[in-house]
Amino acid sequence: MENLPHPDTIIDALSIDCVIFGFKDGRLDILLVKHGEGISAGKWALPGGWITYGESVDDAAKRLLNSLTGIRDIYLEQLKAFGDPNRYPSRRVVTVAYYALVNEENYALIPGFTASDAQWFSIHDLPPLIYDHDQILDYGYRQLKHKVRHEPIGFNLLPAKFTLLQLQELYEAILETKLDKSNFRRKLAKMKLLIDCKEKQKDVSHRAAELYKFDKRVYVTLRKNGMVFGL
């Protein structure tokens, strides 16, 4: 394995786990890696691993995600430290979890380091996960649902110009619920977050819909001050 840190260089009581949500074709996915070695070889897990003595915990999260899956340059937000005394099988390990929501199409998956595979899985069709990774994933998912109700959703999840239906499908995938179209549009209009591009979709087989884009000024303000999107 490439770049495997020497055991003496890692903090043995502390690990990283990354809960990376991906959006593609109206579906919410989660990024998993297959362990290629060690006590859980062949099993699926959240991307994660050990922190070396010389790097910050934040830097370890970025390094591990990149070396295991090829994903780099995303904003990883710290989720929570999970510290149940029995969460790891062979010794005491506390894990610091991070999370992010990305547009899958912007990243190519390249398994590496201790991972023999890296894949997106539908959030509704997951393989069994090691340790307490299902609990970490559940917590991250609840946090994501909370976040999209209180901050404008990531800019980069949709094309620069998008339809209201595309935006609604993004919220529906994350919130796991069908939303009422007119109710959704009324609440959205109140936020004044969208600009009407005054143009329609092209090359679609159905009736072409109006295109919209985010008003960056409003976007930044809502991000800073928070909001309540009562979906």
Interface with a copy of itself (CB under 8 A): 11-14, 51, 53-58, 60, 78, 80-85, 92, 94, 96, 146, 149-150, 225-228, 230
Token pair for 103: 């547009």
Token pair for 117: 């595979």
CB of 93 to a copy of itself, least distance (A): 9
Choose between 150 and 192: whose C-beta lies nearer to a copy of itself.
Answer: 150
- The amino acid sitting at 8 is D
Choose between 182 and 225: whose C-beta lies nearer to a copy of itself.
Answer: 225
Choose between 128 and 230: whose C-beta lies nearer to a copy of itself.
Answer: 230
Choose between 38 and 54: whose C-beta lies nearer to a copy of itself.
Answer: 54
Residue 15 backbone phi and psi in degrees, to 5: -135, 180
CB of 45 to a copy of itself, least distance (A): 20
Backbone dihedral region for residue 156 (phi beyond 0: left; psi -120 to 50: alpha; all else: beta): alpha
CB of 98 to a copy of itself, least distance (A): 10
CB of 59 to a copy of itself, least distance (A): 9
Handedness of CA 172, 156, 121, 83 (dihedral sign): negative
Q: What distances in angstroms separate CA 172 from CA 169, 184, 209, 231, one per listed residue?
A: 5, 10, 19, 10
Q: What is the DSSP letter of 161?
A: S
